[in-house]
Amino acid sequence: DPEMRQLQIQARTTLIRVHSLQGNEQQALALAERNFADRVEIYGSAEDPRLAVDYNNLAGTYNRLGRLDEAEVAQRKSLQLLQRRPDPPVARIAFVEQSLCVLAVQRAQYVEGLAACDRAAEGYRQALGEDSIELAGLA
């Protein structure tokens, strides 16, 4: 039943957050990977733009596990899929750029990090305005 499957994915997404908050990143990763596999099966391709959020969830979990290479690959895939959408979600793209900024700084890649932060700031300005709280975090 497709509706039940979507409800299971939503429930697992909530559990991913709970496990992460409790420091159980391995459990969070297992759930994120299960969600990803289910959605690939539902959508028929790992290239479907609707998977951008799932790639982002995987990236965050990989990052918290210290698996920065995998986090970057997943985050870049999320960005690529968001940019391919007919009406790209500017604020979401800015969030992913901000995540790429953090990853670059974690790896001491400051030039790349600054460029990603600049792209994130521009996206937040465009989507949310000059007074958005998201910009304060990039100052």
Residues 73-130 pLDDT 10s = 999 999 999 999 989 999 999 999 999 999 999 999 999 999 999 999 999 899 888 8
Under the phi-then-psi rule, with left for phi > 0, alpha for psi from -120 to 50, and beta for the rest, what region is 25? alpha
Residues 38-85 pLDDT 10s = 999 999 999 999 999 999 999 999 999 999 999 999 999 999 999 999
From the list 40, 101, 98, 30, the residue with the least C-alpha distance to 61 is 30
Q: What percentage of the chain reaches a pLDDT higher than 90? A: 84
CB atoms within 10 A of CB 35: 23
